[in-house]
Amino acid sequence: MFKKILIANRGEIAVRIIKTCKRMGISTLAVYSNADLFTCHTIIADETVCLGNPLSGKSYLSHEKIIKAAKDNDCDAIHPGYGFLSESEQFARAVMDAGLVFIGPSPSAISLLGDKIASKKIAEKAGMPTVPGYLDPIISENEALAKAEKIGYPVILKPAAGGGGKGMHIVDCSDELPSALAQSRQEALKAFGDDTILIERYIPGPRHIEIQIMADNFGNVIYLGERECSIQRRYQKIIEEAPSMAVGSSLRKQMGKAACDLALQAGYTNAGTVEFMLDQDGKFYFLEMNTRLQVEHPVTEMITGLDLVELQLQISAGMHLDITQDQVSLNGWSMEARICAEDSSHAFIPSTGIVTRYAEPRGKNVRVDSGFKAGSRISIYYDSLMAKVIAWGENREDARQTLVDALNGYHIEGFLTNIDFANSILNHPLFISGELSTDFISDNMESLLNHADPSSYQFHYMILAAALIHHNRRNLEIESLKPMVSNIGGKKKQIRQIDYMVKTGSEILPVSLDRGDNANLWTITVAGKQYEVETPEFEFYRRRIKLLINGRYHRFRLQNQGSFIWATFCGMARTIEIYSLQEWDLLKYMPNPVRYKPNNELECPMPGMVVDILTKKGDKVYRGQKLLVLESMKMETGVASPCDGKVADVMVKTGQAVETGDLLIKFAI
């Protein structure tokens, strides 16, 4: 077994690999850029080497720097994690040429299966069903139009190299094809250094199912069940689970055998994932193979009891697989939510900043893979993925509820995250019933962002939690944890019930708090419905609370914001205003505030780097016209003009780093 390995990655996957290495007694060397100085992988590794410049091409993608660090520090092997260099044939070969072990498949297997065109040919040779399309790359626009007509619209354009949804475009008609092809090529060249594009039929509403395989160097290949990865945005997964509701034992065997046959046909070794589309009739098609460990591998670990990184290390060290297919068993259900630094309500644009508060969920059957802590910086240079929360249960509903509760208690401050959006998916009726497809988010976006039925128990629970915090805050100075009294007629009389009016958005609800003889027991009425609540001995300023409501524990995140309370529960995030009945009566006499925002300026909508400026001083522009392109977290975003007018001045230049709210362009209207 190896004595020391270098982890050529960052964030949560680097931490996850280091943990397995520590358990196995293997020393670790972590690498980091200047932007990752205070991230977790640099703290828990045995040794570290700084790669300098935060730009990926000059740090985490630098073959020379990484291999030199490994050689200089007496490493035996390099683990690439996923992303960055994990699917680079050139890097794998350079590692081997340097006398080190690349923990992954051979360079030839990466080349063969990492190319969508070549892998599709191998799949067909192995007898695997594939999506109708063309295996030859598109040469010209006219050829693309001709091929699309033969295949039939809609079609999808896909880069032959790389993955992660970058460069993929769905085309519904011939008029859209030329611009989509040009954009696909541009994005593929930037992301993968290769603008080769293939075209195939787009299958509407499919499920995304993938099979995890493990293959050693002695011809042994096994599959470890399937993962359901249909919940995606921009072709990137958010929620994953194992197994899939759509896959029974017979279909699992078919897909598993097909995946193993593909690996054998290609001479594949180490961990790999064969991805399939499952159409609405239950027929599966080969999609691609990822020649690396997947982000979502923990859900497979949770139901198999296997450590996939440990298996990778054993295989790369020349050992036989110590488990056969007959010994693979699937136990229970697991779900994972990816936690990303992004604004889900605004097209998932990246969010950056310093982690000012950080508290992970804990508990039985909950696992958190994270690469960040309080004080870590989320920068514009890398992917938005911060962490993953994984839950296990005896069945799907048990796993779902465990994950929901974990996300309710996951507290991150300093920037926006998708924690509540992920939780809203888990609480959506269609997700609960298992009606999934890759179109799930796009089809249900409005309800995912605004699911706030005023009569639902989730909505009421959030209101009562906020009301309790508000009540304790207001009564801190008058012995808030004791029954309040009033001197009436010279006698003290207990006042048990306090009435409030609660406003959140357009909803207005009456709330009554009735304290029992025990200061921690309450009967709370929200919009006429009663709930029995037991509170812990908590400080009212705390950001997370756990309440026993009607016999079951629930977690909430709350923040005092002036006279308001911001509360989240089960994916709902609301600013809540709480008024006494006297305050509510006075409120109707208060004038509504009038806000004015000038439209002759273009402000930066997100942190990033200006990579292209599409206008200049003196140009006439129209509202909605794309004027600049920003890059943040490996994603390019066009910024449109807010008005019709003339460009008075461009305030930024290409290559400049910008923050949210920075002035980009001034207009003369």
Q: Which residues are catalytic?
A: 288
Starting at the earlier edge strand, list the strands of the sheet with 4-7.
47-52, 27-33, 4-7, 77-79, 101-102
Of 224, 254, 211, nearest to 329 by C-alpha is 224
Pairing of strands 333-340, 236-242: antiparallel
Per-residue 3-state assignment (H helix, E strand, C coil) for 597-630 = CCCCEEECCCCEEEEEECCCCCCEECCCCEEEEE
Please report, for residues 51, 76, 93, 95, 342, the alpha-carbon distance to residue 72 in angstroms, rounded to integers and kept in the order given.
13, 11, 19, 14, 38
Q: What are phi and psi of 579, to 5 degrees?
A: -125, 145
One-letter amino acid for residue 100 of the chain: L
Q: How far apart are CA 663 and CA 640, in angstroms?
A: 13
Q: How far apart are CA 22 and CA 47, in angstroms?
A: 13
CA dihedral 60, 64, 65, 71 (to 10 degrees): 120
SS3 314: helix
Q: How many residues does the chain have?
A: 669
Please report how many Cα atoms fall inside a 13 Å half-sphere around the Cα of residue 542, on the Cβ side.
15
**Residue 170 CB neighbour total at 10 angstroms:** 14
Q: How far apart are CA 64 and CA 67, in angstroms?
A: 5
Q: What is the DSSP letter of 138?
A: P
Q: How far apart are CA 546 and CA 642, in angstroms?
A: 44
Q: Across the strands, what pairs with 158? A: 198
One-letter amino acid for residue 517 of the chain: D
- Beta carbons within 8 Å of 206's beta carbon, 6+ residues apart: 230, 277, 278, 279, 280, 437, 438
Q: How far apart are CA 341 and CA 324, in angstroms?
A: 40
Compute the Cα dihedral for 169, 174, 177, 179 and give only its sign: negative
Of 458, 546, 551, nearest to 504 by C-alpha is 458
